Amino acid sequence: MRARSSTPFLSLHGVSLRVGERLLFTGTTWTFRRGQQWALVGPNGAGKSCLAAALCGHVPVVRGDVQYHFRMPPGVEPEHAVGTVSFAEQRAAVGNGFVQARWNTWALEGAARVSDYLSRDHVEDRNPFEIRVDPPGAAAAFARRRRHAIAATQIASLQRRALITLSNGEMRKVVLARALCRPLRLLILDDPFAGLDGLYRRHLRDVLTSIMRGPLRVLLITPRLSDLPRGITHMLVAERGRVVAQGAAGVVRRLAVVRRLLAPHAVAAAGRLPIPVPASPPRPAGRDVICLREVTVRYGRTTILDRVNWTVRAGESWALLGPNGAGKTTVLSLIVGDNPQAYANDVSVFGRRRGTGESIWEIKRRIGWISPEVHLNCDGARCCLDTVLDGFSSADGARPPGTRRQRLQARQWLKAFGLLAHAGQPLGTLSTGLQRMVLLARALVAGPDLLVLDEPCQGLDAAHRRRFVQTVDAILQRTATTVIYVTHRRDELPARLQHVLRLSGGRGGSSSGGRRRG
């Protein structure tokens, strides 16, 4: 038994990968054995997702080779036995849409539902016009895997929901369930805990621990060592497109290079750069920036928000907390003007009630906003500098070319986040974490009156998380900007946040200083 568990499962021999004009992981050799479960760790931009994509056949191997030491049915390529749960898979599931689609009833007509996404035809990418003869028991085996996947991920209640209506955390659960519906040999989980509340993160760790006791091999990619579940036996550490350490998890975790790259106290060189947040005079005290009165949002028979009342005054800062599906993003959609149900409720922003002839684009100009939905729908073909310049949207929503002063400000924010060298690159060529930093710069660049930050640190490594939290604290200290901050992780909350609104079951309760009371 021990000899079998030590035989190779997957191996790389002198591998080099090509991404655009760059060669990554030049000459990499690595052996994943049958009795092992691996984690691939490293900071943002290390190339972790690129290496995982090569294992699925999605990134060309220009030197060396990747060998799969497991058997597959005749005619099935080994790469098809490798499944991935990632932000890219989540984007592919939702499709190319627009941020507001989730909130518009007309956009739901004919929209794919969770049950469709988990159907056998969709999971196995079956052509409905193709005549196929299934092996005996294939349909029953799929049905068993599907039942197990739905139970393990706790998504039975989501089956009738349209995909585009799911929250970021709910969508991550569904993508994982779809992967578990397939007869995989290797499951690659790219930052699987991103966007999940604490209770579900603990559940998912238990699920993964159970999975890893069986025959399925797991490669878990994460920028957080604290997210590693029990059962991970080995670690591969990447930095700047190369492997810098590999071996038994207990040994690798103690290496100096790992502490330097991933420890919570790590600070990147970019973290020592000045933050371009000039001090601003205080705005009139007591003025209401946001006012929600008895707000109720329903879709069919499902109530998302139930008589929520909330007032945010100028210069205040709030943490908006609650589990996945509590209605946090729905509240934000009413504020930023993307949800048409704002007009059926008593919602006022900057002193104007929605539906009284206000200019939505004039309001949007005063709001800096980042969310997983914004990231899902961003234009990956635009260069990073132009993406940041989009923070200076004109009143009609058009994209201005940017004045000389605006371009200077955009470059200052890219420099502050250590991204100036990427200014001319298409956004989509950066890692998911670095894309998020560019979008954060976009939200901050215009010095907005209201800053709405929905899971802003999702996908960021320790250094970038600390840098961004420091930035928000500087904004709260130096300016009169009103801030709303959403997160599922307490270590991402800026120290200077003043108030808390907690949502649960569509209802809300607020407190001052409640963040520090647990």
In a domain, 90, yes or no: no
Name the token pair of 453. 């930050």
- 397 plus 424 within the same structural domain: yes
- 54 plus 122 within the same structural domain: no
Rounded to 5 degrees, φ, ψ at 382 are: -75, 145
Q: pLDDT by residue (tens digit) across 146-179?
A: 999 999 999 999 998 888 778 778 888 999 999 9
In a domain, 349, yes or no: yes
How are beta strands 346-349 and 352-353 bridged, if at all?
Answer: antiparallel
- 326 plus 434 within the same structural domain: yes
Single residue among 133, 165, 184 that ends a domain in this structure: 184
Name the token pair of 318. 């709030």
Name the token pair of 249. 């998890």
- 180 plus 104 within the same structural domain: yes
Q: Secondary structure of the chain: what % helix, strand, coil (to 5)?
A: 40, 25, 35
3-state secondary structure of 447: coil
Name the token pair of 401. 């070319």
DSSP codes, 174-197: HHHHHHHTS--SEEEEESTTTT--
Range of the domain at 338: 274-517
Tell me the CATH number at 320. Answer: 3.40.50.300
Q: Residue 271: which of 32, 43, 516 has the closest Cα? A: 43
- 132 plus 221 within the same structural domain: no
Q: Residue 179: which of 213, 220, 140, 137 has the closest Cα? A: 220
3-state secondary structure of 248: strand
Q: How far apart are CA 482 and CA 313, in angstroms?
A: 8
- 418 plus 308 within the same structural domain: yes
Return all residues near 513 (Cβ < 8 A) that are at least 6 apart: 498, 499, 500
In a domain, 88, yes or no: no
Name the token pair of 215. 């025959």
Rg (CA), the chain: 24
Total domains in the fold of the chain: 3
In a domain, 327, yes or no: yes
In a domain, 85, yes or no: no
Q: How far apart are CA 164 and CA 108, in angstroms?
A: 8
In a domain, 460, yes or no: yes
- 301 plus 345 within the same structural domain: yes
Q: How far apart are CA 118 and CA 146, in angstroms?
A: 8
Residues in the chain with pLDDT values less than 70: 1-5, 73-77, 79, 95-110, 128-132, 263-274, 279-286, 394-401, 510-518
- 194 plus 282 within the same structural domain: no
Which residues in 421-513 belong to E strands, given as ranges? Answer: 450-454, 482-486, 499-504, 507-512
- 297 plus 359 within the same structural domain: yes
- 480 plus 511 within the same structural domain: yes
Q: How far apart are CA 118 and CA 130, in angstroms?
A: 20
- pTM equals 0.86
Handedness of CA 233, 239, 243, 244 (dihedral sign): negative
In a domain, 83, yes or no: no
Rounded to 5 degrees, φ, ψ at 334 are: -70, -35
Q: Residue 270: which of 443, 431, 436, 467 has the closest Cα? A: 467
How are beta strands 8-19 and 22-33 bridged, if at all?
Answer: antiparallel
Name the token pair of 346. 């008593």
Single residue among 244, 263, 282 that ends a domain in this structure: 263
CA atoms within 13 A on the CB side of 14: 2
- 453 plus 501 within the same structural domain: yes
Q: Which residues is 238 bridged to in the sheet?
A: 243
Both ends of the chain: CA-CA distance in Å?
A: 48
Q: How far apart are CA 368 and CA 161, in angstroms?
A: 30
pLDDT given at position 106? 47
Query: What is the strand order of the sheet 288-299 is part of?
Result: 302-313, 288-299, 346-349, 352-353
- 246 plus 137 within the same structural domain: no
Q: How far apart are CA 131 and CA 101, in angstroms?
A: 36
Single residue among 168, 184, 200 that ends a domain in this structure: 184
In a domain, 77, yes or no: no
